[in-house]
Structure formats: structure tokens, C-alpha cells
Structure 1
């Protein structure tokens, strides 16, 4: 799923977003698209790592979105850059007034 142009996005309001579990400095830009059925967040990856999003929980009150950064193990030669790609997930129902809870997890994956 690809992010839509700015004019087709609906930002998630600050009051509807809990990013307290993210590391300091992690991006917190989140929006919906496709009539609220897709949730998109700005991830963070660098060097050899890649980021993707997973829905950990969906209730009538909240959606918990985990930003998973996968790093190859053993690490190879990697650049020292940071990238901030948008990552998207499909929701079971439109987000509407539900709160979005962001979390981040690092995972080692075989090379």
C-alpha cells in the first residue's frame, strides 16, 4: 500500500495519538487515507535496516501500531544514514475517533 498525496490524507490529531512509547526523537507523523481504513505512519530506518508497520491491537477504543525495524544479522557493510519512509497498514474498520498508540521494536533477521 502506498501513501497518498497530501491532499488525500487526513492527519491524526495530536490528542488522538499516544507516542510516549517511542524512542526520543522518533518521528510521530501519522495519518489516515482511503476513508480512514488505512493508517500510515512515518517510520525510521538506517544503514541496512528496513522498517514496516504491524497492527498489534484493534479495539473500539484504540489501534496499536508497532513500527518494526528489521536489521540483518550478522550485519554487513552499511551506510550511516537515516531514512523516514511512510509505512501503511489496513484497518478492519475506519479509524474514526479511536486513539492511535505507537510503539517501536527492533528485530534481528538472518542475512
Structure 2
């Protein structure tokens, strides 16, 4: 686990599994979806949003964040999101059936039942 100051938080942390100490003294771990840096009463404030649940926490200057050295999902090599890898061989669809005939606007209309106007 690597600990760093909240002031070092940047876009490279998005998607990483992190752990923080919340203002109420709890320790929470989550995958970082996004964050906002703002000020409250003239003091810097970071609002961190979880990727897994609709959850957030607010941290002030000097707070510590820890990068958890384990994958966000079992089987992934790092805590970062990894896009799916392409298939090793091309995937092909079966040959298309020939069209039933020329298409025109009337081919989309179902004729009315006999005796119905």
C-alpha cells in the first residue's frame, strides 16, 4: 500500500482502488470514479466519488489517501480499469439470407384483413 497526500491526487488516480480516513474517523476503501476539488470557507476541499456505489466522501488539505496494491476486480493485474482484450481470432457471422424481394415503402405495410376498411 502506498500513502500520499490528497494534494497529489490527479486524473491518473481515476479507476484505482484507494483507501481513505474519513472525517468521522472511519477507514473506507473504494474504486475512485471521479473527484472534485473546490473550497469551503476559503479552505481547499476534495470530494471523492465511488465507482461501485452512489457514495462520496469529503477530505480536507493534509488528508492521506492510500493506493491499495490489489486489483479492483479479481483477476485483473492492477487496480486500474483494463479494457477488454480483442479476440485472438476474428469472429464471423453466418452468411446473410437473401432478401425476400425488392423493398419499398409498401413492403413495410401489412395488408388489412379481408372485409376491413
- If the length of structure 2 is used for normalisation, what is the TM-score? 0.24
Q: Which has the larger radius of gyration?
A: 2
- Say which structure is richer in strand: 1
- If the length of structure 1 is used for normalisation, what is the TM-score? 0.25
More relative contact order in 1 or in 2 (CA 8 Å, sep 6+)? 1
